[in-house]
Amino acid sequence: MGKVGVFLYDGFQEMEFWYPVLRLREIGADVVAIGVDGTDVATSVLGYPVTPNVAMASTSPHDFAALVIPGGNVAKLAGNAAFTKFLRDATQGGARLAAASQAVALVPGALAALTTDDIPQMTRTLLTELSR
């Protein structure tokens, strides 16, 4: 199945992070929480902290079969050149991108969940694609 990265950043939307993480782990996927800004705790829109497993700067985009970008306060992501390059390099390496709500605009062509309610279907589709 390959490794799946799920991005963490200050202002991420909780359900859009945790639902894919838990479902992917449930089927035995190697899921890694990637800290866009390093390994410091990222705080969700509701103030819940999550510690990344790895900093984006210290991992390779080519290590991932898929990357998930949860929505939330994505303004900082939009202007983050390192994040954009990571996604571009991952895509060129064959990784599948999935994005939720506000993050969809950042990743044209990604598997998209336009609202939090769409997260289960996006995750099911991603699971199906990764199982091939």
Q: What is the pLDDT of residue 38?
A: 97
Share of the chain above pLDDT 70, in %: 100
Question: Would you place residue 1 in the very low, low, confident or very high pLDDT band (cuts 50, 70, 90)?
Answer: confident
Give strand pairing partners of 66. Answer: 4, 96
Domain locations in the chain as residue ranges: 6-55+83-110
Which of 132, 127, 129 lies closest to 29, judged by CA? 127
Give a three-class secondary structure readout of 72-102.
ECCHHHHCCHHHHHHHHHHHHCCCEEEEEHH
- Give residue-wise pLDDT tens across range 57-100: 999 999 999 999 999 999 989 999 999 999 999 999 999 999 99
Alpha carbon of residue 93 to chain centroid: 16
Q: What is the pLDDT of residue 9?
A: 98
Q: Is the pLDDT of residue 110 over 90?
A: yes
Which CATH number is associated with domain 6-55+83-110? 3.40.50.880
Q: Could you tell me if 100 and 13 are in contact, meaning their C-beta atoms sit under 8 angstroms apart?
A: yes
Output the pTM of the full model: 0.96
